[in-house]
Structure 1
Amino acid sequence: MVKTIYLMRHGESEDNVVDDNALKGSSALLTERGREQARFVARRCAELDIDVVIGSTYPRAKETADIINERIKKPIEYTDIFVERMNPSEWYGKKKEGAKRLHALDSSLHISGFQHSDEETAEELLARTEKALKYLEDRPESNILLVSHAMFLRAFMARILFREDVTIREIAQCVRVMKLANTGLSILQHNQDDPYGPWRLVCWNDHAHLG
């Protein structure tokens, strides 16, 4: 069976807006612009063959998935497997100079064993991409829409591209160079019988629906 996975980043959230607001992390909500983006992409999803919607449990991804599903009306589930990488907890609630810290932390993603404090390490992120891969492979549906987050989706894509030999350096490189817009749509196909390997990247970060 050939399986199609539609990967989508959530709509614009409060933490995506560059201003002096405090970082909210897992509790960040969609902005009104983010909700509008979700409504735009929902119209596009209505033209796709989708069997199930799976969303991260974080509010910004969950609301994006819910807005889409108001239009396409498919079974919907939420799971922690696809949440965003967790940053150090002491950064949340602080002003946006924290964005500079986030950049510094991302820049150290390739360093084996590095941990600033209580954030998810690169090794833990890599292990979670393996768990996500198996989760999707084991799903019975042929067409899956997955709503997740920028950092996690880029790490997951590194696992797809470099297969089981992926290293944290390759994850770090994908995180740095693979841009992903809010509600950007990427497509994977899975075919266990393909002699060149089960996973194929069909497209990355298509956001034509935003104009």
Structure 2
Amino acid sequence: MAQRTLYLVRHGAADALGQLTDDGREQARLIGRRLARAPIDVVWHSPLPRAVDSARIIAAEMPRVLVDEAAELVDNVPFVPEPAGISPSWKGFFDGYDRGEAEAGRRTADALAARFCKPNGQGRRATHEVVVTHAYPIAWIVREVLNAPPEQWMALSGVANAALTVIEFNDGEPPNVVMFNDLSHLPAELRWTGFAGGGQV
């Protein structure tokens, strides 16, 4: 059995002001219902309102679970490649990023990895932790546990709203990515693939 299991969840769908939509609230309720079957110890969340509200809705499906903020989970660009290493499809995204912003983003990403990308430590009890955050931090955590190059986070950033990613940690073993971006708890009309045009599957 895994010593530490992380259930990474992107917040529910949000509007342009960062507030959950009706669809986003329903997505959060459905992922909460799915996660209620696991022995969850804590629901961590980003400080941003769309993640805070998603975490509260998720936790409501599992009474008496601890809900707490983790500043490291904030929406954040974790790594800015050198200009020569940026693919044409990402060039516009990185326009205007200066060195100070890139360094601050990397510090946050390193703090995120230090807190969430390791087992509990020898002799400590097993834990099951829900982590409600954003697409980029999830991509960074998955990249980190796969020991992929830092720029690889961009290839993992198409995380859907209320998608589930599960990672298990055990002392002395490589982390195990059990699933990535799973949407099986959502009906078709609430699934978002990340493809242009908002395609659903």
Structures share a fold, TM > 0.5? Answer: yes
CA distance in 2, matches of 1:104, 1:118: 16
Equivalent residue in structure 2 for 1:130, among 89, 110, 113: 110
- Give the direction of change, closer, same or farther, for the CA distance of 1:186–1:156 in structure 2 (3 Å limit): same
Output the amino acid matched with 2:67: I
Question: Which 5+ residue runs of structure 2 have no aligned equivalent?
Answer: 78-88, 188-201
More helix by share: 1
Counterpart secondary structure, 2:111: helix
- Give the direction of change, closer, same or farther, for the CA distance of 1:115–1:200 in structure 2 (3 Å limit): farther
Contact 2:72 2:112 in 1 (8 A): yes
Aligned counterpart, 1:151: 136
1:33-182 matched pairs, under 5 angstroms: 33-73=23-63, 74-85=65-76, 104-106=91-93, 108=94, 116=97, 120-121=101-102, 123-136=103-116, 137=118, 142-162=127-147, 166-175=148-157, 179-182=158-161
CA distance in 2, matches of 1:66, 1:77: 10
Output the amino acid matched with 2:107: A
Aligned counterpart, 1:205: 181
Output the amino acid matched with 2:170: N
CA distance in 1, matches of 2:139, 2:23: 23
Aligned counterpart, 2:19: 29
CA distance in 1, matches of 2:150, 2:53: 31
Counterpart secondary structure, 1:30: coil
Question: Shift in Å at residue 118 of structure 1?
Answer: 8.8
Identity level (%) = 26
Contact 2:4 2:119 in 1 (8 A): no
Output the amino acid matched with 1:129: A
CA distance in 2, matches of 1:49, 1:182: 23
> Normalization by structure 2: what TM-score?
0.74
CA distance in 2, matches of 1:142, 1:152: 20
Contact 2:165 2:182 in 1 (8 A): yes
Contact 1:126 1:168 in 2 (8 A): no
Q: Deviations over 1:175-210 (max 9, x none)?
A: 3xxx3111000100011222xx3x111100111111
Question: Which 5+ residue runs of structure 1 have no aligned equivalent?
Answer: 16-23, 87-101, 109-113
Q: Deviations over 1:55-114 (max 9, x none)?
A: 00100001000001112020111021001016xxxxxxxxxxxxxxx96444x4xxxxx8
Counterpart secondary structure, 2:177: strand
Counterpart secondary structure, 1:76: strand
RMSD: 2.7
Counterpart secondary structure, 2:60: helix
- Give the direction of change, closer, same or farther, for the CA distance of 1:155–1:120 in structure 2 (3 Å limit): farther
CA distance in 2, matches of 1:61, 1:156: 17
Output the amino acid matched with 1:184: A
